[in-house]
Amino acid sequence: MIDVAKRLHSVEEYYFSKKLREVNLLIASGKPVINLGIGSPDLSPPQKVVDTIANSLFDSNAHKYQSYQGLPELRDAMAGFYKEHYQVNLSPKTDILPLIGSKEGIMHISLAYLNEGDAVLIPNPGYPTYQSVTKLVQATPIFYDLDKRNNWLPDIKALEQLDLSKVKLMWVNYPHMPTGAVPTAMAFRELVEFAKRHRILIVNDNPYSFILNDSPMSILSVEGAKDVCLELNSLSKTFNMAGWRVGMVVGQSEHINNILKVKSNMDSGMFYGIQKGAIEALKCSKMWYVTLNSVYKKRRELIWQLAESLNCTYDVKATGLFVWAKLPAYLKAEEFIDLVLKEHHIFITPGTIFGSQGEGYIRFSLCAQTEDIEEAIARIK
Ligand SMILES: Cc1ncc(COP(=O)(O)O)c(C=O)c1O
């Protein structure tokens, strides 16, 4: 046997990759499992996006390698999107790099900025990929706790108490997954000041700002943020295009060039048709967002009912594609979700997969049809 690289010992198979095998076995044995675990939008992208992608197949350019920086029209559309929705000015020539999904950006940024032994601030609870990528590039995660008492926002005073001497990068993710907490302008300002004081690059991962949220905000809207911040964004949730894989990293040209150095050595551009479709998506009118959110609003009301029938509490002001619910004090998240899966064939995500601060919480996805959520409520009752 060939020994695997040491870095592989630092990570485990992704929780959902393992757990979905178990769920699929249940389904294969005839159990009618309702999946409220995964945040993969089940709704369709805008029709004009699908039509544009389909029509692009007949374009003579469609089958060639594409530019490493994406089509200029795609970067124009991304700049327009940032201007319209976040009031942030970006140069399409220098400040934007389209990505094949925003997840890959986490690796590219880490490869561009981290050496072995550098430290990275990672939210707890938070998206597990920040931690696994940090370990894969042989840097050291330092977790910072987010807490309900502070509305799941970073506690800057507590951060200042940490040994920050080796910290080069900090992941923040607002609106926050899994809690649905929204940023405040003040919180973003404090983060930018913190980054400047300690020469840390902050990356705000921002894929959820249009889901059940009336005030989309970018960290780049803070004055001077571009010096020390990057932002990742994604079309996966906003336009139901998760499988098409379109995202972007935006920020100052120097940072973008550094990331491009990594990325241009890893892939050879995004499929032409997807870029054409993404341009159409980014130009959607307000009506798209209103319609999308009216569906999620109905689903969320049902999920709230389901949470109540499981004796959980939740924050009605939370945003995003999930409901983050607190279990009664005596229950452990993983034991609880295993029980609900076994007895009621409903799959819910345990909060612990997002870190120790997720103990005592479970996460429901809104990516399920109302009939399925109603059926889940009926099963619990
Ligand atoms: C917090 C967070 N960041 C990034 C991603 C990745 O999104 P994309 O589909 O753009 O790779 C997800 C997807 O679930 C997420 O929850």
How many angstroms separate the alpha carbon of residue 173 from the centre of ligand 1? 10
| pLDDT attached to residue 16 | 82
* All residues at 6 or more sequence positions from 202 whose CB lies less than 8 Å from its CB, including other chains: 169, 170, 172, 191, 192, 194, 195, 219, 228, 229, 230
How many angstroms separate the alpha carbon of residue 101 from the centre of ligand 1? 8
d(CA 82, CA 96): 10
Convert the pLDDT of each residue in 38-93 to its tens digit.
Answer: 999 999 999 999 999 999 999 999 999 999 999 999 999 999 999 999 999 999 99
| pLDDT attached to residue 217 | 98
> Which pTM does this prediction carry?
0.96
Fill in the amino acid letter for 342: K
| pLDDT attached to residue 15 | 83
d(CA 297, CA 309): 19
Give nearest CA residue, ligand 1 atom 5: 103
Convert the pLDDT of each residue in 198-217 to its tens digit.
Answer: 999 999 999 999 999 999 99
- For residue 116, the number of C-alpha atoms closer than 13 Å in the C-beta half-sphere is 3
Who lines ligand 1 at CB under 6 A? 39, 101-103, 127, 173, 177, 205, 207, 234, 236, 242, 247
Nearest-atom index, ligand 1, CA of 106: 4
| pLDDT attached to residue 11 | 87
Give nearest CA residue, ligand 1 atom 6: 103
| pLDDT attached to residue 156 | 97
| pLDDT attached to residue 381 | 85
The residues of the chain scoring below 50 in pLDDT are none
Nearest-atom index, ligand 1, CA of 205: 3
Nearest-atom index, ligand 1, CA of 102: 10
| pLDDT attached to residue 165 | 97
